[in-house]
């Protein structure tokens, strides 16, 4: 569509991040007239996956100022490639995620993708082993060296670990059995008194788990908080999720990730489905202003909101949903005044890093990703202090489609508030590589910070304008937050007034969808 001037829509969706894209998918068979806009030239918002050349363009744009962004302090480093050995491939050989995360097999997103038929265009890969960094003892208690330890997921894993004493094995097996049933009434007495206490208290006092094994269990929680701030109730919920997700789609793994860029691929499929359903999707269209439309007597017309775009087009709609980076500033803060900073790095490595991808159970799919956690205190900030927050690392193999075969992409993140945060991430990645393949060359790396709201995902009515709703995005974490999907469901109900059981529940279409036409519409 060349011009949008003078058009009217039931719903305007601003942004192609995960929440707006899932809303577009949910409304794709509602019969509503949908316009889906994005100020960027690419799909995905925070969840975008970009080639190397696109990353360079993105970094320049984010650093230039003048556009709303949650990204800052972006640096890209490409080492000298004159030496022999692996080299970077062509820029489009890479699809690097800005917000990598894994999906537990019991995540609410997966059945929603199945019921909406979106899964038919997605391929999911197994996330294999979890590892934890165990620093070597030092006289100054400042770690300088260490090694990766594979985190056991089952009774068999524990008893095959020769590094554990028989007493430690017994305590761990007892704890894992307890976690599997911790929600039962008779088990609550064991942990209820520790509900808001540090998780380590429960491990030490109730289960006699040795302190040097607290780190591996904390790693299974995937928490970004300091160890002492991880509360018992949260830890039990998280470890229970991990254990009960094991074996849902096959033996030996509890989590998956979408191929070709993670959640970015989910976004692409959702936008394509919306286009098949009749939505108009347009990139590089920035919303300049939104205002209420009233008649001469002050009454509200059939359409309530006038939307003006940066190219001079104006259009009308009954409601508009979007993320804050896609919408004009609100006169009131409708989300949260509290923000946190997440430091992230992306590193392309010229090695398969095979020790991170051991074969799991017989008959299980080969793992395409691995998780490594550097617990609180396991890395040195300087010669006097250690890290307060953990560092979480996701390692993606070439099978993910994010890099060529024979290479890996290493994503690292921490909530450590320190001027040395970027150096801490580099230290974590370097330590991982030295432990797995000391000869592995770093071919390319990027570091950046993301400013995050501390609120949970939600959809919020803008108090300044009826019909304008803002998505509060999820705090970026290494595990998909199911509350993100819940916020999309609330937005969908605001538009349709339908009940929960019809959300993203689609039957087969009466006629075969013209996918090529839909893709052509998206590419305009």
Residue 63, SS3 per DSSP: helix
**169-211: pLDDT as tens digits:** 888 899 999 999 999 999 999 999 999 999 999 999 999 998 8
> For residue 305, what is the enclosing H or E element?
strand 300-309
**For 443-448, what is the mean pLDDT?**
97
- What torsion, rounded to 10 degrees, do the Cα atoms 226, 229, 233, 236 define? 20
> Would you list the domain boundaries of the chain?
8-51+261-336+456-523, 55-93+124-153+246-258+339-453, 156-244
Number of H helices, E strands in the chain: 13, 20
More confident residue, 381 or 483: 483
| Chain center to CA of 508 | 30
Give the strand pairing for 71-77 and 103-104. unpaired
Dihedral class, residue 183 (left if φ above 0, else alpha if ψ from -120 to 50, else beta): alpha
Query: What pLDDT score was predicted for residue 1?
Result: 56
Query: What pLDDT score was predicted for residue 361?
Result: 74
**246-265: pLDDT as tens digits:** 999 988 899 999 999 999 99
**For 299-311, what is the mean pLDDT?**
78
d(Cα 303, Cα 368) in Å, to the nearest integer? Answer: 49
What does pTM read for this prediction? Answer: 0.92
Q: pLDDT-derived band of residue 168, with 50, 70 and 90 as boundaries?
A: confident
Residues 6+ apart with CB under 8 A from 105: 245, 248, 249, 253, 254, 255, 256
- Please state which architecture CATH assigns to domain 8-51+261-336+456-523: 3-Layer(bba) Sandwich (3.50)
Helix %, strand %, coil % of the chain (to 5):
30, 25, 45
Q: Residue 82 pLDDT > 90, yes or no?
A: no
**For 426-438, what is the mean pLDDT?**
96
Q: Residue 335 pLDDT > 50, yes or no?
A: no
Q: pLDDT averaged over the chain? A: 89
Residue pair 16/45 in contact (Cβ under 8 Å)? The answer is: yes
Nearest to 375 by CA among 255, 231, 217: 217
Residue pair 148/131 in contact (Cβ under 8 Å)? The answer is: yes
Query: What pLDDT score was predicted for residue 236?
Result: 98
Query: What pLDDT score was predicted for residue 391?
Result: 97
Neighbours of 189 (CB within 10 A): 8
Query: What pLDDT score was predicted for residue 513?
Result: 46
**For 145-149, what is the mean pLDDT?**
90
pLDDT above 70: percentage of residues in the chain: 91
Query: What pLDDT score was predicted for residue 323?
Result: 94
| Chain center to CA of 62 | 20
Residue pair 13/33 in contact (Cβ under 8 Å)? The answer is: no
**Six-digit token string for 477:** 């974490």
CATH 3.40.190.10 applies to domain 55-93+124-153+246-258+339-453: no
Rounded to 5°, angle at Cα 361 from 359 and 364: 80
Nearest to 438 by CA among 348, 521, 356, 353: 353
Task: Name the least confident of 140-154, 210-224, 455-469.
Answer: 140-154
**For 376-380, what is the mean pLDDT?**
92
Q: Residue 297 pLDDT > 80, yes or no?
A: no
Which stretch, 76-80, 166-170, 274-278, 368-372, has highest mean pLDDT?
368-372
More confident residue, 266 or 64: 266
Just give the CATH number of 156-244. 1.10.405.10
Rounded to 5°, angle at Cα 127 from 98 and 18: 35
**For 408-413, what is the mean pLDDT?**
98
Give the strand pairing for 458-461 and 468-472. antiparallel
Maximal CA-CA distance, the chain: 83
């Amino acid at each position: 569509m060349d011009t949008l001037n003078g058009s009217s829509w039931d719903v305007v969706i601003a942004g192609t991040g995960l929440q707006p894209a899932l809303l577009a998918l949910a409304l794709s068979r509602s019969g509503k007239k949908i316009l889906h806009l994005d100020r960027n030239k690419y799909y995905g918002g925070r969840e975008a996956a970009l080639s190397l050349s696109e990353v360079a363009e993105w970094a320049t744009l984010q650093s230039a100022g003048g556009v709303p962004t949650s990204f800052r302090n972006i640096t890209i480093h490409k080492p000298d490639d004159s030496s022999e050995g692996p080299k970077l491939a062509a820029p489009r050989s890479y699809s690097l995620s800005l917000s990598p995360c894994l999906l537990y097999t019991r995540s609410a997103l997966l059945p929603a993708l199945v019921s909406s038929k979106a899964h038919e265009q997605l391929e999911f890969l197994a996330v294999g082993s979890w590892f934890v960094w165990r620093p070597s003892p030092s006289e100054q208690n400042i770690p300088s060296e260490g090694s990766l330890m594979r985190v056991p997921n089952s009774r068999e894993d524990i008893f095959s670990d020769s590094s554990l004493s028989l007493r430690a094995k017994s305590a761990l097996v007892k704890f894992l059995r307890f976690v599997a049933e911790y929600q039962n009434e008779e088990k609550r007495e064991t942990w209820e008194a520790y509900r808001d206490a540090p998780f380590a208290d429960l491990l030490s006092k109730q289960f006699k788990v040795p302190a040097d094994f607290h780190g591996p269990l904390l790693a299974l929680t995937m928490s970004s908080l300091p160890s002492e701030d991880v509360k018992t109730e949260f830890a039990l919920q998280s470890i229970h999720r991990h254990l009960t997700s094991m074996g849902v789609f096959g033996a030996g793994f509890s989590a998956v990730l979408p191929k070709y860029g993670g959640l970015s691929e989910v976004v692409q499929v959702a936008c394509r489905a919306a286009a098949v359903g009749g939505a108009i999707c347009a990139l590089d269209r920035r919303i300049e202003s939104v205002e209420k439309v009233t008649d001469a007597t002050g009454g509200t017309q059939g359409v309530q909101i006038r939307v003006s775009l940066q190219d001079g087009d104006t259009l009308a709609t009954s409601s508009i949903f979007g993320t804050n980076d896609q919408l004009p500033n609100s006169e009131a803060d409708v989300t949260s005044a509290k923000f946190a900073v997440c430091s992230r790095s992306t590193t392309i490595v010229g090695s398969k890093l095979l020790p991170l991808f051991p074969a799991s159970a017989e008959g299980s799919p080969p793992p395409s990703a691995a998780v490594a956690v550097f617990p609180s205190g396991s890395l040195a900030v300087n010669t006097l202090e250690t890290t307060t927050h953990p560092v979480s690392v996701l390692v993606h193999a070439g099978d993910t489609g994010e890099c060529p075969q024979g290479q890996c992409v290493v994503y690292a993140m921490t909530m450590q508030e320190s001027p040395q945060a970027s150096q801490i991430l580099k230290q974590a990645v370097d330590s991982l590589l030295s432990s797995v393949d000391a000869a592995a060359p770093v071919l390319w790396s990027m570091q950046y910070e993301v400013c995050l709201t501390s609120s949970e995902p939600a959809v919020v009515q803008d108090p300044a304008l009826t019909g304008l709703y803002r998505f509060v995005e999820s705090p970026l974490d290494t595990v998909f937050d199911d509350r993100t999907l819940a916020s999309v469901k609330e937005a969908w109900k605001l538009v349709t007034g339908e009940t929960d059981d019809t959300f993203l529940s689609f039957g087969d279409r009466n006629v075969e969808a013209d996918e090529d036409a839909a893709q052509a519409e998206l590419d305009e």
